[in-house]
Amino acid sequence: MSDAFVTPEEPSAAEAIAAIGDELGVFDDWMDRYQFIIELGRKLPPFPDAWMNDAHRVPGCQSKVWMEAVLRDGRLYLGGLSDAAIVSGLIALLLRVYSGRAPDEIVATDPVFLKDLGLLEALSTNRGNGIAAMARKIRELAAHQQAA
């Protein structure tokens, strides 16, 4: 799929979380981790300009954040972008965990992993609230698909 949506690298959300934990664990300090996260954001699939509008905005984020989702073959694929480099990286982490999964798996995957990986503590309060808002939005989209 060469489009705006992220295709999962790992077979499950749990395995994606474990892989992210291993990758972040390679770095000794947060500056290196931030650089790694920013690089992940740069590798996100191109997000169409047409989606950078209020209909795609994620409320509760200090930076501008846009997301889109599509259901294909019973799996929810997600795309996203931010006007802030570090936030695009955080989107990349979230999409690696949640995109391309069945709605049931998305809803069942609590974003507590962000805290477990030390990401929330390392971010400013506003960024922490923003990433929580993004995770909430993703899980709401999945819950909506379950109900459909």
Question: Is residue 69 within 8 Å of 101, Cβ to Cβ?
Answer: no
Catalytic residue (choose from 4, 20, 37, 61):
61
Residue 61 appears among annotated catalytic residues: yes
CA proximity to 131, closest of 60, 77, 40, 72? 60
The C-alpha atoms of residue 112 and residue 81 are separated, in whole angstroms, by: 22
Collect all residues with Cβ–Cβ distance below 8 Å to 134 and sequence separation of at least 6.
Answer: 58, 61, 65, 67, 80, 90, 91, 94
What does the longest C-alpha to C-alpha distance in the chain come to? 45
**What are residue 131's phi and psi, to 5 degrees?**
-70, -35
Question: Is residue 9 within 8 Å of 98, Cβ to Cβ?
Answer: no
Q: Which of the residues are catalytic?
A: 61
